[in-house]
Amino acid sequence: MTQPMSEPLSLDLFDTPMIEVSSTCSTPTITDNSLLFIPPQDVPSIYAKQKRSNSALESGMLTYKMTAIPRGYAMIININSYDNDVLEERKGSSKDVENLSDLFEHLKFITKIVENPTRKEFMREVRSFAEDSDHEKIDMMALAVLSHGRNGMIITHEGAKVDTEWIYSQFNNQKCPLLKGKPKFFIIQACRGDETDKAILQGQKNRLESFSPASRKRRPPTSVDTDTQYAGSSSYIEDLGRARPTWEDIVIAYSTIPGYVSIRDRESGTWFIQSLCQTFFQHAHENNLIDLLMKTSEVLSRYSNEKNEKQTCNIELRHMYKRLYFNADISVTSLPNQRIAGILNRSLSTPPASPAVHSNLIDED
């Protein structure tokens, strides 16, 4: 009998608006020394790993094994064009593919990229990836989907839909036993509705008005460029090898919260993927996955555009009961190439030209 799905734990990592809203879609120059990134000291990696191990023991939490070479397999599914113009082209998505591909490479993953699949091709690729016998040799799986979307659906190349829950189900313990006990990381870069998030300035009066249904501004449909579009007794089991839940070891990073759009820069890629890659390149050698995603949220909160729109990412955990450290040899002091350096410099130094001048460069997924 199929076991019921464990109730997911959902963490909404809300934006923390700045005192003054940026007029650009990028991070403003940081003047508060407490926010400046300080490159890590040149410490032997064995010390860093020992430090992480001790902190996990002190907290009483276990850690996932992450020592295999390669660490794991990753798949990036990028849908940026649509048959018969059923949806607008997702300009800038190729930058997300480049950035994620570079990131996975330096996290010691082997990555496969799938471009513009139809619904049938999408489902075939996901099933094939989940059934890969090589998962037995590695410690983790990652799957990133970059697409238009709406209300829990991914929109494929011909305009058909795939339910994100179907995607996750292909990797649960029942359907993918080779990944049992191993972390499964999903990145969903897609809109989940039509709502836009208007910035709330610190000290602003009548804040409750911003949350009233009448005050929520929906974009007119004609202007949306969306990635929117059991009765027995229970007992405590000491031997973890005897039985496991169907759904566990799953982290899902959504670019936005339910009902809201996800914003994309046509030249630099989506705000969320830029924020995630920047954060992981800087801190994956020292922080666990959940802390990395919280830092990603903080970076994302600095983004804004000429409409004072903001974006809130959403992290969902499904029985994730261990800490995950990538044991990566990455830091801002050892960037692999100029493109990655550009990701970091954009947020750590001078922002690009204001979108008020180049307003046609911003779309909503």
The string of pLDDT tens digits covering residues 98-139 is: 999 999 999 999 999 999 999 999 999 999 999 999 999 999
pLDDT of residue 333: 47
Distance CA 364, CA 195 (A): 11
- 70-79, 119-128, 193-202, 277-286: which range is least confident on average? 193-202
Distance CA 327, CA 71 (A): 9
pLDDT of residue 200: 77
Region 65-197+248-364: CATH code: 3.40.50.1460
| Residue scoring higher pLDDT (288 or 218) | 288
pLDDT band at residue 270 using 50, 70 and 90 as cut-offs? very high
**Amino acid making up residue 325:** Y
pLDDT band at residue 363 using 50, 70 and 90 as cut-offs? confident
- H/E element, 346: helix 338-348
CA torsion through residues 277, 281, 287, 288, sign:
positive
pTM above 0.75, yes or no: no
| Residue scoring higher pLDDT (276 or 40) | 276
Alpha-carbon distance values, 106 to 51, 326, 340 (Å): 21, 10, 11
pLDDT band at residue 243 using 50, 70 and 90 as cut-offs? confident
Chain-centroid distance of CA 208 in Å reads 29
Residue 82: is its pLDDT beyond 90?
yes
Residue 281: is its pLDDT beyond 90?
yes
pLDDT of residue 202: 65
Distance CA 297, CA 247 (A): 25
pLDDT of residue 118: 98
pLDDT of residue 330: 55
Read off the pLDDT of residues 252-263 as tens digits, 9 standing for 90 and up. Answer: 999 999 999 999
Read off the pLDDT of residues 301-342 as tens digits, 9 standing for 90 and up. Answer: 999 998 899 999 999 999 999 999 999 885 554 444 555 555
Q: Kindly give, in sequence order, each residue whose CB lies less than 8 Å from that of residue 260, ignoring residues fewer than 6 positions away.
A: 191, 192, 193, 195, 196, 197, 311, 312
Distance CA 308, CA 30 (A): 19
Residue 344: is its pLDDT beyond 60?
no
- The ranges assigned to domains in the chain are 65-197+248-364
Q: What is the mean pLDDT of the chain?
A: 77
